[in-house]
């Protein structure tokens, strides 16, 4: 083993240990902890976060990383070690450029801004959050100025933070293509006015029965309960300590059958990714998903490409009807498939259907671009949001709560994050298409034979964790870069068929 890397190892181990402890505390706050715990436990989390941060950002580690980055030393490292060194160097270079005092002030602002946002959302008053938002944006601008490359715009710098190599030049093309297909497709669907009866979904569904069925579904899609647990929280999420302890949450709504079903399939997709990461990188800084966009591609692959596919439900539909005999008595499989894919312009991103979802992302992308180029002022933001909804979805949010205040992201200082969701959808379509070329995926789904699918995902993507970037993974598996055409073809074909849109042509 390389001697210098050996000296770095205890720092890495300690950082992983802190992160695991923090993950558990955060998990606990969201699931089991009593409500009164939050303020005190948040202080503990704050302290541990600082410890965790300084474990890797300190002069000793900096010195080791500098020496390990020299070409001569690089030759003596394994490939995984090289990636780890590069990752820590990138983080510490960034932190070096931001004055410590400013970063501390910023962290304190972020810690308090989510609750300011939550209150503003509750009372439908954007003006109560606007000042905080403006401060957050100013910090982002300032930090980007310190860190960005000379010719890079501020927003490009922010985008690259979440998806390496991503920028507005690429995303403009990406979203233009999506827009040019989805907007006319949506228009046709709205004009078609096809009657889709979704009334079964809002009947009453016993919560305990829902829990049992969702546990069955999680296991069915490949969530390994020997390596993971499932709990309840207000908003479903996935987290992990390492590849042998992956946790998902779900929420159950009495008058909404689909909500818990599709949440558990979605989070299950995230979880299976983390569970299939190779043992030898699991307890390292690269032992996790490679990017937010790629992570989201795995959850959407399960939720949309599998979970909203008729083939997936063929072996499951009887069990679903058996579980909810009374409520689903009249429902046929075809009507169910139509209903779970129903397209309807709506205000809330997280509840949007698969076709209108990218429009919600495009709106946020365009607004963020204008915020960071200086075109849009804070006091113009809420109305600009509503105008975009009118333009893209033909609906105007009646309140700020259903408009600009709906997402938590900005209050956490996450700017440039939203495009990851759309990238995830596009990546999942590209991967599904690759699977179709390589094996009879629909037959596998129909026969409940998911093992070959898991193996394919593990061998091509999951096992590598963050040792490879999204594009490296895609090129190695599918022979090409991220290509939005797969996504466009998929959406066009799917909705043309579901809504019989080419009927007139026949
Ligand atoms: Zn997700």
Distance 307 CA to ligand 1 centre (A): 14
CA pair distance 208, 211, nearest whole angstrom? 5
Q: Please, are residues 137 and 373 in contact by the beta-carbon 8 Å criterion?
A: no
> Could you say which of 267, 303, 354, 368 is catalytic?
267
Distance CA 365, CA 294 (A): 18
pLDDT, averaged across the chain:
94
Q: When comparing pLDDT for 52 and 82, which is higher?
A: 82
- Residue bearing the bigger pLDDT, 296 or 101: 296
Cα(495) to ligand 1 centroid in Å equals 23
- Please give the Cα distance from 413 to 400 (Å, whole number): 20
Kindly state the tokens that stand for 443: 């037959």
Tell how far the Cα of 247 is from the centroid of ligand 1, in angstroms.
13
Q: How far is the CA of 82 from the centre of ligand 1 (A)?
A: 29
In the prediction, which pLDDT does 503 show?
Answer: 66
Q: What percent of the chain has pLDDT over 90?
A: 86
Question: pLDDT digit string (tens) for 169-209?
Answer: 999 999 999 999 999 999 999 999 999 999 999 999 999 99
Residue 347 has pLDDT above 70, yes or no: yes
CA 218–ligand 1 middle distance (angstroms):
15
Distance in Å, CA 270 to ligand 1 centroid = 7
For residue 415, the CA-to-ligand 1 centroid distance in Å is 17
Average pLDDT over residues 351-371: 96
Annotated active-site residue 267? The verdict is yes
**267 Cα–ligand 1 center, Å:** 6
What average pLDDT score do residues 394-412 get?
A: 95
Question: Six-digit token pair at 134?
Answer: 């403006």
Quote the pLDDT of residue 8: 96
Q: For 110-159, what is the HEC assignment?
A: HHHHHHHHHHHHHHCCCHHHHHHHHHHHHHHHHHHHHHCCCCCCHHHHHH
Which residues lie at CB < 5 A from ion ligand 1?
A: 299
* Closest C-alpha to 340, from 299, 315, 312, 307: 307
139 CA to centre of ligand 1 in angstroms: 27
Structure tokens at 25: 């505390």
Whole-model pTM: value is: 0.94
Q: How far is the CA of 340 from the centre of ligand 1 (A)?
A: 18
CB 413 within 8 A of CB 106: yes
pLDDT at 505 over 80: no
506 band by pLDDT with thresholds 50, 70 and 90: very low
Distance 324 CA to ligand 1 centre (A): 27
Quote the ligand 1 centre to 236 CA distance (angstroms): 9
The answer to whether residue 21 scores a pLDDT higher than 60 is yes
| Inter-axis angle of helices 79-97 and 127-147, nearest 10 | 110
- CA separation for the pair 245, 224 (Å, rounded): 10
Flag whether pLDDT at 504 surpasses 80: no
Residue bearing the bigger pLDDT, 46 or 31: 31
pLDDT of residue 274: 98
Q: What is the pLDDT of residue 84?
A: 95
pLDDT band at 101 (very low <50, low <70, confident <90, very high): confident
Expressed in angstroms and rounded, the spacing between residue 318 Cα and the centre of ligand 1 is 28
Burial of 76-108, coded b for 16+ CB within 10 Å and e otherwise, reads ebeebbbbbbebbbeebeeeeeeeeeeeeebee
Give the per-residue pLDDT at 100.
Answer: 81
Q: Would the CA dihedral through 74, 76, 78, 81 be positive or negative?
A: negative
């Amino acid at each position: 083993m390389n001697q210098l890397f050996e000296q770095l190892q205890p720092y890495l181990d300690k950082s992983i240990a802190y992160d695991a402890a923090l993950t558990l505390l955060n998990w606990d706050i969201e699931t089991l902890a009593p409500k009164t715990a939050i303020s005190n436990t948040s202080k503990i989390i704050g302290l541990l976060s600082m410890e965790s941060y300084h474990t890797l950002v300190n002069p000793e580690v900096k010195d080791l990383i500098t020496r390990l980055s020299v070409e001569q030393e690089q030759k003596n490292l394994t490939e995984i070690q090289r990636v780890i060194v590069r990752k820590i160097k990138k983080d510490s270079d960034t932190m070096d450029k931001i004055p410590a005092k400013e970063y501390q002030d910023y962290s304190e602002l972020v810690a308090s801004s989510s609750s300011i946002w939550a209150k503003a959302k509750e009372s439908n008053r954007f003006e109560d959050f606007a000042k905080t938002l403006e401060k957050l944006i100013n910090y982002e601008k300032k930090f980007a100025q310190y860190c960005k490359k000379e010719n890079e715009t501020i927003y490009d710098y922010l985008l690259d933070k979440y998806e390496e190599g991503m920028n507005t030049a690429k995303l403009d093309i990406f979203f233009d293509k999506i827009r040019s297909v989805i907007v006319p497709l949506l228009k046709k669907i709205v004009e078609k006015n096809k009657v889709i009866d979704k009334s079964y979904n809002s009947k009453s569904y016993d919560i305990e029965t829902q829990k049992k069925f969702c546990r069955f579904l999680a296991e069915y899609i490949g969530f390994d309960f020997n390596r993971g647990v499932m709990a309840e929280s207000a908003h479903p999420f996935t987290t992990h300590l390492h590849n042998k302890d992956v946790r998902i949450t779900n929420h159950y709504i009495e008058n909404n059958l689909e909500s818990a079903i599709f949440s558990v399939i979605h989070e299950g997709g995230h979880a299976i990714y983390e569970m299939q990461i190779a043992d030898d990188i699991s307890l390292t800084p690269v032992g996790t998903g490679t990017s937010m966009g790629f992570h989201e591609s795995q959850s959407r692959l399960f939720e949309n490409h599998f979970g909203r596919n008729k083939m997936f439900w063929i072996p499951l539909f009887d069990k679903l009807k058996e579980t909810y005999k009374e409520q689903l008595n009249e429902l046929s499989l075809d009507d169910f498939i139509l209903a779970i894919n129903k397209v309807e312009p709506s205000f809330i991103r997280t509840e949007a259907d698969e076709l209108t979802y990218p429009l919600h992302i495009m709106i946020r992308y365009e607004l963020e671009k204008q915020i960071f180029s200086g075109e849009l002022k804070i006091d113009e933001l809420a109305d600009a949001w509503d105008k975009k909804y009118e333009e893209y979805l033909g609906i105007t949010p009646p309140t700020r709560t259903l408009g600009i205040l709906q997402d938590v992201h900005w209050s956490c200082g996450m700017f440039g994050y939203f495009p990851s969701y759309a990238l995830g959808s596009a990546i999942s379509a590209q991967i599904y298409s690759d699977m179709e070329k390589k094996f009879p995926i629909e037959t596998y789904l129909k026969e409940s034979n998911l093992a070959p699918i898991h193996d394919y995902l593990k061998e091509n993507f999951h096992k590598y964790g963050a040792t490879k970037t999204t594009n490296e993974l895609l090129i190695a598996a599918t022979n090409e870069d991220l290509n939005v055409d797969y996504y466009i073809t998929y959406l066009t074909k799917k909705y043309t068929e579901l809504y019989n849109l080419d009927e007139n042509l026949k």
